[in-house]
Structure 1
């Protein structure tokens, strides 16, 4: 097989892995209104079905990154997808909410293997100029998986039961797992450091957290994805209540705007080849910030426009930040990409849950206000990072 053919198969395999991951992370987002109604629990408690999964990923990514240094990136991805498939198929049978949340957390731990090493693998095996477009394809897989999980689970939860919605998405994830095994090229040998001791991995983590060059990337994920997840967690609640009163199945169609986000991720990846990536990240954050006003409107089409702006801005910022977590690392690349995953997943879990506290107290306005504040802080950090790139400052006296 030619080098170009192997590269195409690798990118498609990672697209499939991203699809499988996010279909099974965010399918629960679409069933939250049904779960809340069925179990008689508040929205913030229902949202734990999403937060448990993202926290499970966050808690495991550094361990997966270290394991990938020992046994190889692709071996970790295979183990991760198999474990995810088994757990996702079992979770819908959980007899209680507590067991369901525990199963979702374990599913997140399994999914952490993909999230920890996919970007590091791309950076290590592709020429540098090919990484941003390939990373955008991987993020697109995340996007399409997220949309599919939501659009299938939401209507199924309303027409049948939320358990059925989760089970159908898990079955689709099992098919994606098989496709990944078929597509992934053999013999990539991704330059894993087979004998790296755990203390060296921890030293890499400390190094990355001390460098503004990398720390600023992690903060982007924590803030922007926290802002984004909070909006999407409670959008279904907002749409199914006054003044819109949409059925869950129809409200779930709002998630189709993710495809606009996927297109913006591709465009952002292309722009980052021509202009400084941090300029693109800054613009993405600004779009998230200005989305607040239309999202507060009482007209459905204006609300949709605001959600679309939020989605475009997020997918301009998030894929590039994820890519930069690998490209800007001067050592311990797997640890750096894992730290980015840890940051954005922690942000998604924390702010996704806290948004429910605000929603129960201040309604939709509280969620939008929090989302906007997080985005504006992210913009300030991204702008400072763009300045640091131009001036060569890293916060430790070395050129960026």
Structure 2
């Protein structure tokens, strides 16, 4: 469909709905300092809470793929239903007695519902864009970044807001996003049924050289990404305590994470000239360097430290759309959907390992000294990607 025939509101509504829906992802992280204070939760709870969402998302992704729910039902119905259920799971914590087990169960349920929001939102966008899909998906990944950061913004702007109020605001936003998608975005003219999920596609990831390079690069990226997002507030707090400076940690957490939108946008523009592999390689290189600099950076001045975190925020996720592009290009066409499902599931499983590793050590070691433990992921990814780089003339 030519852009002049497509309703102008379609892409903005999809982006806004994706932004509101994915705000559920880190809602538990944004309020965790208050829960640790009020419920007496240990420092390791941060790793457990983040991992619960990741595990829920992995389970939901595989379940949705096996059952082909987005093919059996209209994708916008699936998106709407999961947005409402995710909003309910997020808000239910307010009504339950203080319990780490209940918190983890509800975060798992929220993650499961997110599998019907983020990937399904991509499918809805693909139904409206035969050309220009890459640009549309770049905005979609940017919406995920902003959604991830959004609960921190609520906490940063409303410092007196009770944690239950933060959850209520995020849940309301998610529900409204789902409703907007359902009412304002009909099924697009290019909507196609996905191929039947084939578990055997996992062999392709480790068998084909080009696909293996793209997937392994993504796996290394995922070792770093969500663990860093989870521990950004802890790093900001540690710097503020060390320098005895009053810092709005939630607001700066939002700013640093949201900076990834620039990385996605700039990377998308540069990929047309430089190629996705080169853009992903250099962004992954910079974020790897940021991992290694963490023990030194925490001693820097405020302006230097915040500039360093903004650079890290830009590059830590800016390579993500390029890895998706590289994986899609290298996957066998008949197994594209199944391959992407497996790569996503494996990548999020890997992220649980790094989250749990930092979560188990943060009580005994300064967070600045722990962040270099994220560097092996990008280093592995860079090593795996070397065959994808174009040869120099």
Alignment TM-score, normalising by the size of structure 1:
0.84
Q: Which runs of 5+ in 2 are unaligned?
A: none
Preserved CA contact (<8 Å) 2:267 2:279: yes
Preserved CA contact (<8 Å) 1:132 1:270: no
Q: Are residues 1:110 and 2:113 paired?
A: yes
Q: Which residue of 2 aligns with 1:394?
A: none
Q: Which residue of 1 aligns with 2:57?
A: 57
CA distance, structure 2, for counterparts of residue 381 and residue 102 of structure 1: 36
Q: Are residues 1:80 and 2:79 paired?
A: no
User: Greater shift after overlay, 314-323 or 4-13?
Assistant: 4-13
Q: Which residue of 2 aligns with 1:98?
A: 101
Preserved CA contact (<8 Å) 1:143 1:258: yes
Q: Aligned pair in 2 of structure 1 residues 201, 77: CA closer, same or farther (>3 Å)? A: farther
Q: Aligned pair in 2 of structure 1 residues 119, 336: CA closer, same or farther (>3 Å)? A: farther
SS in structure 2 at match of 1:175: helix
Q: Aligned pair in 2 of structure 1 residues 332, 244: CA closer, same or farther (>3 Å)? A: farther
Shift of 1:320: 1.6
SS in structure 1 at match of 2:198: helix
Q: Aligned pair in 2 of structure 1 residues 54, 18: CA closer, same or farther (>3 Å)? A: farther
Preserved CA contact (<8 Å) 1:120 1:333: no
Q: Aligned pair in 2 of structure 1 residues 69, 186: CA closer, same or farther (>3 Å)? A: closer
Shift of 1:301: 2.4
Q: Which residue of 2 aligns with 1:190?
A: 191
**Aligned 1:138-177 pairs, distance under 5 A:** 138-153=140-155, 156=158, 159-177=160-178
SS in structure 2 at match of 1:186: coil
Q: Which residue of 2 aligns with 1:359?
A: 362
Shift of 1:89: 2.8
CA distance, structure 2, for counterparts of residue 248 and residue 48 of structure 1: 26
Q: Which residue of 1 aligns with 2:279?
A: 280
Q: Aligned pair in 2 of structure 1 residues 62, 260: CA closer, same or farther (>3 Å)? A: same
Q: Which residue of 2 aligns with 1:12?
A: 12
Q: Aligned pair in 2 of structure 1 residues 155, 246: CA closer, same or farther (>3 Å)? A: farther
CA distance, structure 1, for counterparts of residue 199 and residue 259 of structure 2: 38
CA distance, structure 2, for counterparts of residue 260 and residue 148 of structure 1: 12
Preserved CA contact (<8 Å) 1:294 1:305: no
CA distance, structure 2, for counterparts of residue 8 and residue 226 of structure 1: 38
CA distance, structure 2, for counterparts of residue 159 and residue 247 of structure 1: 16
Shift of 1:116: 3.4
Shift of 1:10: 4.2
Shift of 1:56: 0.4
Structure having the larger proportion of residues in helix: 1
SS in structure 1 at match of 2:187: coil
CA distance, structure 2, for counterparts of residue 31 and residue 247 of structure 1: 19
Q: Aligned pair in 2 of structure 1 residues 208, 222: CA closer, same or farther (>3 Å)? A: closer
Shift of 1:159: 2.4
Preserved CA contact (<8 Å) 2:24 2:87: no
Per-residue CA distance 1:138-179 (angstroms, 9 max, x = gap): 0111122122222114565x5243333222211121222222
Q: Which runs of 5+ in 1 are unaligned?
A: 392-400
Q: Aligned pair in 2 of structure 1 residues 244, 188: CA closer, same or farther (>3 Å)? A: farther
Shift of 1:308: 1.4
User: Greater shift after overlay, 331-340 or 115-124?
Assistant: 115-124
CA distance, structure 1, for counterparts of residue 8 and residue 214 of structure 2: 27
SS in structure 2 at match of 1:6: coil
Q: Which residue of 2 aligns with 1:240?
A: 237
Preserved CA contact (<8 Å) 1:269 1:320: yes
Of 355, 380, 383, the match for 2:383:
380
Shift of 1:251: 4.3
Shift of 1:7: 7.1
Q: Which residue of 2 aligns with 1:314?
A: 316
Per-residue CA distance 1:77-122 (angstroms, 9 max, x = gap): 3332232233223233332221111011011111112333444555
CA distance, structure 2, for counterparts of residue 321 and residue 18 of structure 1: 20
Q: Are residues 1:304 and 2:301 paired?
A: no
Alignment TM-score, normalising by the size of structure 2:
0.86
Q: Which residue of 2 aligns with 1:222?
A: 219
Q: Aligned pair in 2 of structure 1 residues 160, 76: CA closer, same or farther (>3 Å)? A: closer
Q: Are residues 1:266 and 2:268 paired?
A: no
Q: Aligned pair in 2 of structure 1 residues 133, 222: CA closer, same or farther (>3 Å)? A: same
SS in structure 2 at match of 1:362: coil
CA distance, structure 2, for counterparts of residue 6 and residue 86 of structure 1: 33
Preserved CA contact (<8 Å) 1:143 1:262: yes
CA distance, structure 2, for counterparts of residue 70 and residue 143 of structure 1: 29
Number of equivalenced pairs: 383
